[in-house]
Structure 1
Amino acid sequence: MKVKRLTNEVKRFAKRGAVSRITIKDVAAQAGVSIATVSNAFSGRKSVSPDIIQRVEEAARALGYQKNIAASQLRSGRVRVVGVLVPSLADTFFASLVSHLEELAEADGFQVLVATSRDDARHERAQLDALLGWKPSGLIAVPCTNQIPENLRREFPGLPMVLVDRIGEDDLPVDTVTVDNHTAGREAAEHVLDLGHRDILIAASVAALRPIAERIRGISGACHHHAGQPPRIIELGPEVETGAARLEAWLARNSHPTAVIAMTNVTTLAVLTAFAQRGIDIPGAVSLVGFDDYAWMTARKVPLSAVRQPIRDIAAAAWTRLMERMDGSEEAPARIVLEAPLQRRDSVGAVPA
């Protein structure tokens, strides 16, 4: 098809302005094929020759046609869209989780709508209302508190859903996927305790959140058993800059610990930032164990010891369970708990003399 002809068609439709949207009928006329052929070319449901597909795609691009996905899915009887709610995409853990879920969804023919709560309950309600307005086939959610949001509770059990990471303290019989946070915390503590550390600081984001609280409980139990004294705890919040500032202020007022165990990748970065600002050497002055193991942690001059959350496996478990629910499974709710092993590297050393 010649570009000149397409250009003329674009001009013709441009003159129509906002009078009407370009439809599949317009694309069919432009490509010189039937409406059914265009529909099959877009959906891939029936075999269409490559040259016809090319003609249809060229016509659609030239006319500025946008496929009405919602309408086509409603006609098919199933909306192949799932919602994903996470606290933040600035947090590498949640961004990676979303990325893996998108890959899995795409492989199964689903699209993903993502919303963030900003760790704010009011914003979470608004974002959930927006997601639910799309009538998704299912939902994977990381709530911003230990409770399932009320507007999500109202959708159960009609809407298939899986909770991830922050699995809450709720009696709603919903599928959950998390890691063994208690064991992860205990093993991180035992690692620094074995090297003689007794003055241990826990750098938490929000200590009351269940996964953080479970990690703290594991660390505290190990400290009590091996050292007979509890760790110190500081809350740094969910942002790196704010957390670093809080830790700097804390360090200015308190004696330095010999070891720090950070509860998230964000708090790990906050600790590193604060230590860099104050010239604190790792592990010469203070040992550090991070949480969430990423490539940058091994790329540092002193590679960081860190607890590795299996994000790909978490996403796969959540997606598999959601697919089973969307396919009508009525099995008892699954409580999937994955291991989060400690990666021992060079950021933990013996207690300074």
Structure 2
Amino acid sequence: MERRRVTIKDVAARAGVSIATVSNVFSGTKPVTDDLRRRVEKAASDLSYQMDRAASQLRSGQARVIGVLVPDLDDTFFTSLVSRIEVLAMEDGYDVIVASSRDDADLEQSRIRALLGWRPSGLIAVPCSDTVPDLLKSEAARLPMVFADRVGPEGSFVDTVAIDNFEAGAIAARHLVELGHRKVVVAASDMGISPIRERVRGVAETLIAAVGTEPVVVELGSNGERGADRFSSFLAGNSAPFAVIGLTNVTTLSALSALARHRIDIPEAVSVIGFDDYPWMSARKTALTAIRQPIEEMGRLLWERLTLRMSGEDAPPRHVSLSTALQVRDSVRPVIGQPRRNSSGEPAEERGAGQHHSAGQEPA
């Protein structure tokens, strides 16, 4: 039986230090104490550890550069994720080169070529669609890379870190069901992206199981202003009341802008659940209930997986799925005249419904 290759993670565990410390010992990027150096060197010797390609590149003077590809830097989620990766990379002595595909597949290919021109030590990519770019497929054999967030059906050939999108949609729908809502509108970005489809599926299956209704899905795209125009057009032909679930922070903002144009009050006429939890969501007269993604943890795991791959780990691809959480605030109200139900469709205990006015009451 072939012996498993020893990795930098094994050396770090045996020496009782971090992976970054082992990397610093062998690369000389940051000073370490004599005691730590001796522990790491002894652990490496005991395990017969051989420094691999990443170390050779460092010794040859290759720039310590990490490439990061995202679909849109106008989206606060991606800028927050990039910011976290930059901090972690800097702590380990790497520079980060960021490129945005602007949600355009042709531009994505050009941006990937530009990133590869830097001869990066590794790459973190959020593809703009379910179709993994050919350049990434061809580079995966030689370049350590990790996919994040928009993990499509073909993403399994490298490590991936994403949220449980089905669960995220179900959490939002379950909260509305428990407060008596039956009519739900989903403000989606693009149904051609698998995470969005999974969030919609989570909403739909929860509603169908609980109250026998399906959500209305409105695709708004990834541009806030154009999304607001589209949702405004939807509102013009569909009278309130209903509840809205925004599946991204951009579509949440688009829906809110359109509701404001039509002077529709939240939550009196329309209840709203947003996605991603940023300060602006609570800096409002009516603070938004929102699905919170664990961006800090996602960034940490992305960097951890990439560091391990750059150190030579050759285990099968690993997929990490993170859970989201519901931040309950003031933008969802109990519905008057509808029995409150739990996610299984059973009647739920009434809590404070009589405190609200009936102007926004939903029809059966």
Q: Give the TM-score range, shorter chain.
A: 0.7 to 0.9
Partner of 1:128: 112
Write the deviation string for residues 295-340 of structure 1: whole angstroms up to 9, x where unpaired. Answer: 1111211110000001111010000000000000011211101111
Q: Distance in 2 between matches of 1:74 and 1:223?
A: 54
The alignment partner of 1:238 has SS state of coil
1:76-124: CA deviations, max 9, x gaps?
Answer: 4443101000011110000000000000000000000000000000000
Instruction: Please list every run of at least 4 consecutive aligned residues from structure 1 whose deviation after the TM superposition is greater than 4 angstroms.
Output: 43-46
Identity within the alignment, %: 52
Match of 2:217 among 233, 251, 255: 233
1:212 aligned residue (150, 173, 196)? 196
Which of 229, 253, 264 aligns to 1:269? It is 253
Q: Which of residues 259, 264, 275 in structure 2 aligns to 1:291?
A: 275
Distance 2:204 2:237 in 1: 23
TM-score norm. by structure 1 comes to: 0.78
Cα distance in 1 between the residues matched to 2:29 and 2:165: 44
Which residue of structure 2 lines up, in the alignment, with residue 310 of structure 1?
294
- Hey, what's the Cα distance between the residues in 2 that align with 1:93 and 1:206? 16
Query: 3-state DSSP class of the match of 1:249?
Result: helix
Aligned to 1:115: 99
Q: Match for residue 144 of structure 1?
A: 128
> Separation in 1 of the partners of 2:194 and 2:155?
15
Q: Which runs of 5+ in 1 are unaligned?
A: 1-42, 47-72
Task: Specify the alignment match of 1:163 in structure 2.
Answer: 147
Cα distance in 1 for residues equivalent to 2:30 and 2:96: 21
Structure 1's 266 and 45: CA in aligned 2 closer, same or farther, altered over 3 A? Answer: closer
| Aligned residue pairs, count | 286
Deviation at 1:279, TM superposition (A): 0.3
Q: State the 1:208 CA deviation.
A: 2.1
For the structure 1 residues 233 and 306, does the alpha-carbon distance in structure 2 shift closer, same or farther, using more than 3 Å as the test? Answer: same
Partner of 1:254: 238
CA contact (8 A) 1:201 1:257 kept: no
The answer on 1:193 being equivalent to 2:211 is no
Which structure 2 residues correspond to residues 330-349 of structure 1 after superposition, within 5 A? 330-349=314-333
CA RMSD after TM alignment: 1.7
Q: Which has the higher contact order (CA 8 A, sep 6+)?
A: 2
Normalized against structure 2, the TM-score is what?
Answer: 0.76
Cα gap change, 1:239 to 1:171, in 2 (>3 Å): closer
Counterparts of 1:253 and 1:180 in 2: how far apart (Å)?
Answer: 33
Amino acid across the alignment from 2:298: I
Report if the CA contact (8 A) 1:248-1:278 is conserved: yes
Contact 1:176 1:334 in 2 (8 A): yes
**Alignment correspondent of 1:84:** 68
* Bigger-Rg structure (1/2): 1
Structure 2: gaps of 5 or more residues: 1-27, 32-56, 336-359
Letter in 2 for 1:176: T
